[in-house]
Amino acid sequence: MGLSRMLDVKPDPYVALCPSRKIIEVIGDKWSLLVIPLLIDGPKRNAELLRLIEGISQKMLTQTLKRLEEYNLVARRDYGEIPPRVDYRLTPLGQSLADVIGQLDNWVIKNFEELLHA
Amino acid sequence: MGLSRMLDVKPDPYVALCPSRKIIEVIGDKWSLLVIPLLIDGPKRNAELLRLIEGISQKMLTQTLKRLEEYNLVARRDYGEIPPRVDYRLTPLGQSLADVIGQLDNWVIKNFEELLHA
DNA sequence: CGGCATCCCTGTTGATACTG
DNA sequence: CAGTATCAACAGGGATGCCG
């Protein structure tokens, strides 16, 4: 490990303005948590996602995908055809995140009953 | 596995009204994601959490803790003293969730740079 | 100290309509 | 089909003050 590494400030989401706080918010977002796992088994189109995620609006889907794209978690692909054909897929970074979220999902399913009656 | 198990309907957060959707929202909450890891190394008091989590308000802290308590993730302990002394700790269920969230945190820290530039 | 109740404002969100 | 734009509605969340 080089000296420069030792000088790095490690991200701390408990500090309000630390960028990692924002990242926590993006990842820990209700819709992100639903969109990301859907992309694991291949690219999906806008209308497909809209149909698969009951209750999401076009607006929220677009907004969620854009934010995930900003953070390099999802890649948007426009085929330039008419009628329009666009799909979204996980980047390698997004794939690795999807694995972690998958664990979260499994946890929820596994502990579902116990969570409910509390 | 008994027959009854096979008849269980598995929770599906992609259905708007499925309770698992609500659970996803509770867990995937900005403040929950910050509070839970803090409780891993022992009980914490209200004022302590307020100080540790920069930017959280009393109102949001209370609301977050209550919701986590509802889902049996956190236990509130009132010592019945005067002045008041109350602390919050993870339940066993909460502990197991904390492990998963810890993985998410580690992922964020590990991929911090890559997320930022995007 | 812990935390509830209130007020109030802002931002998020949904619905609708429109465009390339 | 994929998205944008606009508007109205509502809830999230902060600030303050009060109480056990």
Contact B28 A23 (CB under 8 A): no
Q: What percent of chain A has pLDDT over 70?
A: 92
List pLDDT tens digits, range B47-60. 999 999 999 999 99
For B20, the 3-state DSSP assignment is: helix
What pLDDT score does B36 carry? Answer: 97
A1 pLDDT tier (thresholds 50, 70, 90): low
What pLDDT score does A3 carry? Answer: 60
List pLDDT tens digits, range A46-75. 999 999 999 999 999 999 999 999 999 999
Distance CA B89, CA B64 (A): 13
B87 part of contact set with chain A, CB < 8 Å: no
What pLDDT score does A41 carry? Answer: 94
Looking at A46-106, which runs of residues are DSSP E strands? 74-78, 86-90
What pLDDT score does B5 carry? Answer: 60
DSSP A82: S
Statement: the CB of A110 is under 7 Å from strand D? no
Instruction: Please report, for the domain that includes residue A100, its CATH number.
Output: 1.10.10.10
User: CA-to-C1' distance for B31 and D16, Å?
Assistant: 22
Distance CA A61, CA A47 (A): 10
List pLDDT tens digits, range B73-95. 999 999 999 999 999 999 999 99
Q: Pick the closest to residue A36 from A93, A86, A101 (CA basis).
A: A101
Contact A72 B117 (CB under 8 A): yes
Sign of CA dihedral A67, B103, A111, A25: negative
A10 pLDDT tier (thresholds 50, 70, 90): confident
DSSP A102: H
Distance CA A23, CA B116 (A): 9
Interface test with A, best of B8, B15, B29, B30 (most A CBs within 10 A): B30
Q: Which domain holds residue B47?
A: 3-116
Please give the model's pTM, rounded to 2 decimal places: 0.92
What pLDDT score does B23 carry? Answer: 95
Contact A24 B16 (CB under 8 A): no
Distance CA B47, CA B12 (A): 37
The bridge status of strand A44-45 relative to strand A86-90 is: antiparallel
In degrees rounded to 5, what are phi and psi of residue B40? -60, -45
Quick count: other Cβ atoms within 10 Å of Cβ B53? Answer: 20
pLDDT at residue A107 greater than cutoff 90: yes
B32-38: average pLDDT: 97
Count of domains observed in chain B: 1
**Sheet of B44-45, strands arranged across:** B44-45, B86-90, B74-78
List pLDDT tens digits, range A81-91. 999 999 999 99
pLDDT at residue A4 greater than cutoff 60: no
The token pair at A118 is: 């509390």
The residues, ordered by sequence, that sit 6+ positions from A4 with a Cβ below 8 Å of its Cβ are none
Quick count: other Cβ atoms within 10 Å of Cβ A99? Answer: 11
What pLDDT score does B7 carry? Answer: 65
* Residue among A28, A71, A100 whose CB faces B30 most closely: A28
For B22, the 3-state DSSP assignment is: helix
Q: Pick the closest to residue A98 from A46, A20, A35, A4 (CA basis).
A: A35
